[in-house]
Structures are given as structure tokens and as C-alpha cells.
Amino acid sequence: MTDAPNLALAQKVLAAQPFSNLLGARLVAFTEGEATLELDIRDDLRQQNGFLHGGVLAYAADNTLTFAAGTVIDAKLLTAGFTIDYLRPADGALLRAHAQVVRAGRSRVVCCRCDLSVVDSAGVETLCTVAQGTIAVPEPSQGT
């Protein structure tokens, strides 16, 4: 187990990710077994039908799952895999991804779950995507 999760340190880790900066992602919560990432939905992140691109949703799920795992495993982590289900088109002003750890082990944090919602200009939150992932603790020879 780790010491108490440190939001400021986790935000520095996020800020060190060039792609996260490109998207404008913000880590807004980082507590024991949970993390929440947000990003503003901009026109340049939409697909041809005007909805948030699925790749942006997948990015948010991937990163939030890994940050949630980081609250319970004190190690550098990598996503081992995740599944994602797009429930409805994502359209709104803000994307909010909230992940929580379901079970933690020594070498893998298994069954992290992430709910992704869009928030409209009136503050109404609508679930649009769910994901479940496995996060791995890489061996030292794997670039940690």
C-alpha cells in the first residue's frame, strides 16, 4: 500500500505527459482507490458527427484507470489492457472520467472500473462510456 494519495504529485505526473497537455486534461481528484480526470470538450476533439471522438474517451479511460491504480500500488504503472463500451454519443461542455479500484494485487491492479460522463452547460451529467481495465506493475527491465 502507498502513503496517502498525493493529488499535487499526481498532477505533476499528469503534467509530464505531453499528450495530456495537448488535450488539456486535469486530474481533479486522487484519493484512496479512486481518481477523477476532466477535460473541456473542444471542437477540435470532436469527430465528423460533432460528438467527442472515441479516441479521446479511450485516452481518458486509460489514464484515469492507471491513476486510480496508482493510489493503492506504490510503483510506476502501465496499462495491461482495458475494455471500453460506448453507451451513447458524448456531447457536452466537459468530460469527466472517474475510476475506482475494484481489486488490488501485488503485480496487477485487477478490475479497475471507469465511468465517463459528459457534463452540459447547465451542469447535468450524463454517463456515456464505461471501461474496465487491468493495470500492471512492470518489471524493472521494462523501462521503469
Tell me the per-residue pLDDT of 50-103, one tens digit each, with 9 for 90 and over.
Answer: 999 999 999 999 999 999 999 998 778 899 999 999 999 999 999 999 999 999
Average pLDDT over residues 125-142: 88
Per-residue confidence (pLDDT) for residue 1, from 0 to 100: 45
Q: Is residue 1 domain-resident?
A: no
Number of domains in the chain: 1
Domain containing residue 24: 7-142
Cα distance between residue 60 and residue 96, in whole Å? 8
Q: Is residue 100 domain-resident?
A: yes
Tell me the per-residue pLDDT of 40-54, one tens digit each, with 9 for 90 and over.
Answer: 999 999 999 999 999
Confidence class of residue 144 from pLDDT cuts 50, 70 and 90?
Answer: very low
Q: Is residue 2 domain-resident?
A: no
Closest CA to 134 of 96, 102, 88: 102
Per-residue confidence (pLDDT) for residue 143, from 0 to 100: 53
Helix (H, G, I), strand (E, B) or coil at 38: strand
CATH of the domain at 91: 3.10.129.10
